[in-house]
């Protein structure tokens, strides 16, 4: 299959290109598109064969459910069997935006889309191209991140092409992504809302709307069975062996420098994920700053790109600083650390 790559500008959407993309999805095909979090791989959420195509294109196990993306508030009512009051409140507060809600599904959504579950994940993305595409495609677009299963989610169209070229009909290239980590997932099917995947919308932000919210223990602890099926799979793993070093900044820099020298002696190609505050103090290896600790959003945006760059550069051993402390004005520390821990297979050294 030849994949058509079409540039699209959120501020001046090419209507013809959008119509073509919408038709591809309506006819059962797949189109990758930008959202505010990461690029998505879209197919018709109400068509079970489209869901199967998505699983095949990603090489993803079919028990890992897909998020249904909508563009109108009222459409939540037709794919959910019941919409709790909490869902309405969250939709008013955060949609369109980087929040996914788990609800009981209606008969309209095929089990192929929900990985066999009786619940459905719903999100209204906050990206004009994404919203326009969903509308052109008929209103219900199932979209996982547009990467091969196990690789970092794509934050640029060139990474979508790297993974999906020849596997899907079209890629809408909307340039760089704004947030860079996948949406927050909150499960509203139990008595207390539970965060299954941390993201831009933090626990504190949800609690301001709902009161008490819990976090699935598997989010930051190793060895817990996660409630979101997708969170159990090895994810975002770079080809190099990644270790997180956590502790006081000066000690972390010294330890990473020591380990890098040792690894280089053994012939390894070493990469470092540092920050603007520390990058100058590293002495050897392929040093990359993820951004400034005073602006966590820049770190969130850079993380997946850096993991992919290390792959391209043939790095065999990677050391990263830890990011668990929420920085001023940020709040994405938990989401960053959750993805980093998964990428490292929970290999963390605490000094
Ligand atoms: O930001 C995002 O959410 C991106 C963009 C494209 O919208 N999408 C995304 O989809 O990250 P995906 O498929 O890569 O991740 C979806 C996650 C998986 O971990 C999956 O297991 C979980 O959502 N999920 C989906 N439906 C679920 C359900 N009914 N119950 C529990 N977890 C669910
Ligand atoms: Mg994904």
Angle between helices 333-343 and 296-312 (to 10 degrees): 20
Q: Whose CA is closest to atom 33 on ligand 1?
A: 228
Residues of the chain with CATH 3.90.870.10: 4-230
Q: Give Cα 105 to chain centroid, integer Å.
A: 23
Do the Cβ atoms of 283 and 260 come closer than 8 Å? yes
> What pLDDT sits at residue 328?
42
Beta-strand ranges (E) seen in 59-125 are 67-69, 99-104, 119-123
Cβ 298 under 6 angstroms from ligand 1: no
Which residues of the chain, if any, have pLDDT below 70? 233-234, 325-330
Residues of the chain with CATH 3.40.50.11030: 241-350
Cβ 45 under 6 angstroms from ligand 1: no
> What pLDDT sits at residue 325?
58
Ligand 1 atom with minimal separation from the 105 CA: 29
Cβ 149 under 6 angstroms from ligand 1: no
> What pLDDT sits at residue 245?
97
Round the average pLDDT of the chain to a whole number and report it. Answer: 94
Q: Which of 317, 318, 315, 321 is nearest to 336 (CA)?
A: 321
Q: How far apart (Å, rounded) are the C-alpha atoms in residues 58 and 161?
A: 12
Integer-rounded Cα radius of gyration of the chain: 20
Do the Cβ atoms of 85 and 169 come closer than 8 Å? no
| Domain covering 241-350: architecture | 3-Layer(aba) Sandwich (3.40)
Question: In what side-by-side order are the strands of the sheet with 270-274?
Answer: 286-289, 270-274, 317-321, 241-246, 348-350
Q: Which of 71, 334, 291, 319 is nearest to 195 (CA)?
A: 334
Cβ 37 under 6 angstroms from ligand 1: yes
Residue 67, strand partner residues: 121
> Can you list the pairs that 190-199 forms with residues at least 24 positions away whose Cβ atoms lie under 8 Å?
193/86, 194/227, 195/219, 196/102, 196/226, 196/227, 196/228, 196/231, 197/100, 197/228, 197/231, 197/338, 198/334, 198/335, 198/338, 199/37, 199/98, 199/99, 199/332, 199/335
Q: How far apart (Å, rounded) are the C-alpha atoms in residues 267 and 77?
A: 58
> What pLDDT sits at residue 63?
84
Expressed in angstroms and rounded, the spacing between residue 39 Cα and the centre of ligand 1 is: 13
Do the Cβ atoms of 170 and 20 come closer than 8 Å? yes
Q: How far apart (Å, rounded) are the C-alpha atoms in residues 278 and 156?
A: 26
Q: What φ, ψ does residue 95 adopt, rounded to 5°? A: -100, 145
- Range 4-230 classified under CATH 3.40.1440.10: no
> What pLDDT sits at residue 233?
65
Q: What φ, ψ does residue 19 adopt, rounded to 5°? A: -65, -45
> What pLDDT sits at residue 120?
98
Q: Which of 140, 115, 137, 184 is nearest to 22 (CA)?
A: 137
Expressed in angstroms and rounded, the spacing between residue 66 Cα and the centre of ligand 1 is: 5
Expressed in angstroms and rounded, the spacing between residue 153 Cα and the centre of ligand 2 is: 6
> What pLDDT sits at residue 225?
80
Write out the two tokens for 334.
Answer: 């938990």
Q: Whose CA is closest to atom 19 on ligand 1?
A: 230
Ligand nearest to the CA of 153: 2
Expressed in angstroms and rounded, the spacing between residue 67 Cα and the centre of ligand 2 is: 10
Residues in the chain, overall count: 351
Q: Which of 232, 237, 210, 223 is nearest to 99 (CA)?
A: 210
> What pLDDT sits at residue 327?
43
Expressed in angstroms and rounded, the spacing between residue 208 Cα and the centre of ligand 1 is: 24
Cβ 182 under 6 angstroms from ligand 1: yes
Ligand 1 atom with minimal separation from the 185 CA: 23
Q: What φ, ψ does residue 82 adopt, rounded to 5°? A: -145, 140
Q: Whose CA is closest to atom 30 on ligand 1?
A: 228
Query: Which H or E element spans position 158?
Result: helix 157-164
Residue 32, strand partner residues: 41, 171
Tell me the pLDDT tens digit for each residue of 280-328.
Answer: 999 999 999 999 998 999 999 999 999 999 999 999 999 999 997 544 4
């Amino acid at each position: 299959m030849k994949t058509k790559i079409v540039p699209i500008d959120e501020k001046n959407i090419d209507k013809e290109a959008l119509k073509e993309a919408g038709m591809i999805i309506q006819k059962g095909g797949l189109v990758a598109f930008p959202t505010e979090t990461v690029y998505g791989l879209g197919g018709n959420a109400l068509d079970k064969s489209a869901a199967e195509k998505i699983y095949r294109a990603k090489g993803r196990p079919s028990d890992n459910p897909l998020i249904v993306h909508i563009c109108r508030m009222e459409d939540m009512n037709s794919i959910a069997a019941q919409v709790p009051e909490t869902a309405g409140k969250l939709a008013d507060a955060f949609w369109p935006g980087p929040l996914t809600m788990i609800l009981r599904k209606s008969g309209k959504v095929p089990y192929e889309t929900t990985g066999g579950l009786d619940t459905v994940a719903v999100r209204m993305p906050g990206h004009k191209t994404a919203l326009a595409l969903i509308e052109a495609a008929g209103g219900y677009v199932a979209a996982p991140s547009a990467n091969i299963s196990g690789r970092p989610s794509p934050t640029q169209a060139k990474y979508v092409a790297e993974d999906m070229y020849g596997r899907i009909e079209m890629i809408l290239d909307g340039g760089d992504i704004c947030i860079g980590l996948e949406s927050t997932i909150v499960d509203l099917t139990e008595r207390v809302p539970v965060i299954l995947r941390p993201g831009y919308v933090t626990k504190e932000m949800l609690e301001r709307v709902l009161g008490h919210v819990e976090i699935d223990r598997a989010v930051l602890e190793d060895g817990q069975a996660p409630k979101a099926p997708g969170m159990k799979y090895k994810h975002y793993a770079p080809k190099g062996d990644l270790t997180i070093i956590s502790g006081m900044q000066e000690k972390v820099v010294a330890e990473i420098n020591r380990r890098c020298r040792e690894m280089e002696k053994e012939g390894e190609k070493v990469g470092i994920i540092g920050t603007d505050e520390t990058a100058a103090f590293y002495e050897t290896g392929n040093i990359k700053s993820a951004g400034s600790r005073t602006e966590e959003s820049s770190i969130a945006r850079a993380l997946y790109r850096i993991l992919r760059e290390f792959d391209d550069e043939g790095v065999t051993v990677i050391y990263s600083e830890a990011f668990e402390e929420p920085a001023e004005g940020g709040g994405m520390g938990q989401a960053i650390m959750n993805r980093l821990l998964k990428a490292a297979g929970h290999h963390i050294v605490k000094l």
